[in-house]
Structure 1
Amino acid sequence: MSTLYVQVEGGNITTLQPPGCIHPVTQDDDDDDDDDETLTAPSDTHMQEDLEELSPPEASLPGTSQSDKATVDNVRSLYKKVLELDRTKKRLEIRKLELEIEKLEHEKKERESSNK
């Protein structure tokens, strides 16, 4: 899924790099048995700081019409929802990885106990 982040300021729309991207890094794409991925995710505080930096304050929008302000508010609202969904997705991915690690550790213990 590709997410487009935009910022509306004074009627101008700017495309932004999404804050707190997850960067999957795989060791070997040819190996189907090895689904290990390394994920990097920023903290919730870091994502909130990104949101605050990217959201233009109302004072910085002089001379804008009500419709421009409404557009800015709508974009800001959608952007916050996207950040919340991204944060939830990252938390779920982290939890999934934790459960996969637990499963592998459990399987390893079972193999070790059956070999004794």
Structure 2
Amino acid sequence: MSTLYVQVEGGNITTLQPPGCIHPLTQDDDDDDDDETLTAPSDTHMQEDLEELSPPEASLPGTSQSDKATVDNVRSLYKKVLELDRTKKRLEIRKLELEIEKLEHEKKERESSNK
């Protein structure tokens, strides 16, 4: 699950997402050739990058209590939207299951009436 950060400035709410982990290409000094060796970031590097990211409200100087309350309200609303979306998807799945059952039942009725 990804983390969603919200920034509130002057009544404007901005949704922020942490930047991707980008690591520069490094050259292998032990290699006698002039070919570049690509290195993938290790799990440790990625974890360190994620730990360096801090929530926007922690990095904003002078964040007031009302801004923090607004951020909390936005987070709770976002969570509620996600819960409602999940419930909607579950209901859509159940509806499709019932439609399948109905079609199977109709098929059986047609087969039995054709005999």
Superposition pairs for residues 1-116 of structure 1, below 5 Å? 8=8, 12-14=12-14, 56=55, 59-116=58-115
1:8: how far off?
3.9
Note if contact 2:7-2:57 (Cα within 8 Å) is conserved in structure 1: no
Deviations 1:63-82 (A, max 9, x none): 31111000000111111111
Name the count of aligned residue pairs. Answer: 115
The 8 Å contact of residues 5 and 16 in structure 1, kept in 2 or not, is answered as yes
- CA 1:63–1:21: 2 relative to 1, 3 Å: closer
Percent identity, aligned pairs only, is: 99
Say what the alpha-carbon RMSD is for the aligned residues.
17.4
List gaps (5 residues or longer) in structure 1. Answer: none
Alignment CA distance shift 1:49-1:110 (3 Å): farther
Structure of greater relative contact order (alpha carbons < 8 Å, 6+ residues apart)? 1
* Aligned-partner SS, 2:30: coil
Moved more, 78-87 or 44-53: 44-53
- Structure 1 range deviating more: 81-90 or 12-21: 12-21
Structure label with greater radius of gyration: 2
CA distance, structure 1, for counterparts of residue 41 and residue 98 of structure 2: 20
| C-alpha distance after superposition, 1:22-57 (max 9, x if no partner) | 999999x99999999999999999999999999956
- TM-score, structure 2 normalization: 0.52
Instruction: Give secondary structure in 2 for the equivalent of 1:8.
Output: strand
Task: Give the C-alpha shift of residue 96 in structure 1.
Answer: 0.6
Change (3 A) 1:53 1:30: closer
Tell me the distance in 2 between the aligned counterparts of 1:34 and 1:103: 69
